[in-house]
Chain A
């Protein structure tokens, strides 16, 4: 093998490296800073609104994993009362089919994506844990929620000013300390 152009490749590589010295960094120091996620994010969390749920179990039927467990009894006003609504996040693939199929918009995906647990049993969410107390529902298949969420930060606009409103790449600073403990 002849090395005809020996050195040119290295020079070109160095030129590109040199160019990058003058570019703003695009790295994000997770978990100290976080980008704004998509408004339709299918995070590792589901949000269930008990007041809207009729116990029809359409969501359970549409789940590919057979993941949602619902038990109901007939109440006084000839309605279904949901006794049990359980969802095993360890088996869930967060595909969103249950959310899409719910006819009463009683189920939504959540924004949070940090749901790691030490025990598998902790991944099973009961009726109480699924309620929207400290959760943020995401706009997946829910256009009204989507409209209210902040816009996603996009790398394609980088650090340069964006066309509309001149927003910068937004970073949400978290705690100053590295790592958050257990």
Chain B
């Protein structure tokens, strides 16, 4: 009698350490080989888009903190930029610089987290994460100094930022900017040539260039596939056209390239921070905006390059104090649609690695 085998279904998550939140992957396996993957989302759904329709434009800023909670500052940034575009509000020069400084600090913090947990998924249990957390902690200290909290910053306001930075902020940030390249060197020295990392990530989970473009991927996931697309360069918002930086791109689109692109982006962020600190002007940080803002009726789409990709806010106004429609384009939800193409035919262990290299954040996927 011949032995008959059949595929079986394995649920990875919703409570699984490498799903980075409450997320479930329904994996169909043939032995150890992945045949099919079906992501199940929605465990963290809070209905932010609907809640936002009942609140004023300013009251929605704290809600944007709860999207991608590892990069709250950039969520604030994207939202206030969209509202400012809708209501045509000018932002003072100093506030623009402060926003850029915060956004780039946030990018470093988010990438540190992404790389650290990616290595955790590889099996480098907690050791690299702790080195990266040490640097992230320094950034969180600075955010706490500016806006009083470490995770949900609620710092940007329509027309500027909520408060000016305290005087001890700039020396501390300058010290961080001076030190950070040596820490990135240390990570790269430890990791980038490590044979286990290379063996587990080189050629694994390849996302071809054309697939990446077709699914509208963005951020490091897209750039690792060799597409030079960064909204900071392609459609400069705020004052990004004043800074000199490069957009690192990978060439294969495997897990190693995604790791490498994030590493290089941190170096570029340090470069932007250096320039922004040099040019930082004095003056006001908040343009006088009415408390109950009534933007003219119309619609707007504002997008920025968040650490994880293109974060967009689509707002429709009917000239009342609350948005008529509030839609979020979360980068990681759209990047995640590529997962199926990337993992079929690979083993379960590679599925975890590939998923880790996408750097998803469930707060943003389920919103």
Contact = CB atoms under 8 A, between A and B. Distances in A.
Interface size band for B: 35 or more
Interface in B155-176: 162-163, 166, 168, 171-172, 175-176
A12 B145 contact: no
Contact of A9 (B138, B175, B193): B193
Given A40-B166, A146-B166, A156-B172, A64 B55 contact: yes
A138 B199 contact: no
Nearest to B138: A156
B141 A156 contact: yes
B291 interface: yes
A155 B141 contact: yes
Contacts of A155: 134, 137-138, 141
B296 interface: no
Contacts of A97: 58-59, 62, 154
A156 B154 CA distance: 23
A132 B283 CA distance: 34
B182 to A, nearest CB: 12
B144 A41 contact: yes
Main secondary structure of the interface of A (DSSP, over half): loop
A26 B131 CA distance: 11
Interface in B56-75: 58-63
A172 interface: no
B72 to A, nearest CB: 11
Nearest to B187: A16
A5 B193 CA distance: 9
Given A1-B199, A40-B166, A138 B148 contact: yes
Contact of A64 (B60, B131, B166, B189): B60
A73 interface: no
B6 interface: no
Contact of B194 (A12, A37, A156): A12
Contacts of B63: 64
A99 B154 CA distance: 13
A38 interface: yes
Which of A4, A13, A138, A163 has most chain B Cβ within 10 Å? A13
A156 B60 contact: no
A2 B242 CA distance: 46
A139 to B, nearest CB: 8
A3 interface: yes
Interface of A: 1, 3-6, 8-9, 12-13, 16, 26, 37-42, 62-64, 93-97, 100-101, 109, 138, 140-141, 146, 151-152, 154-157, 163
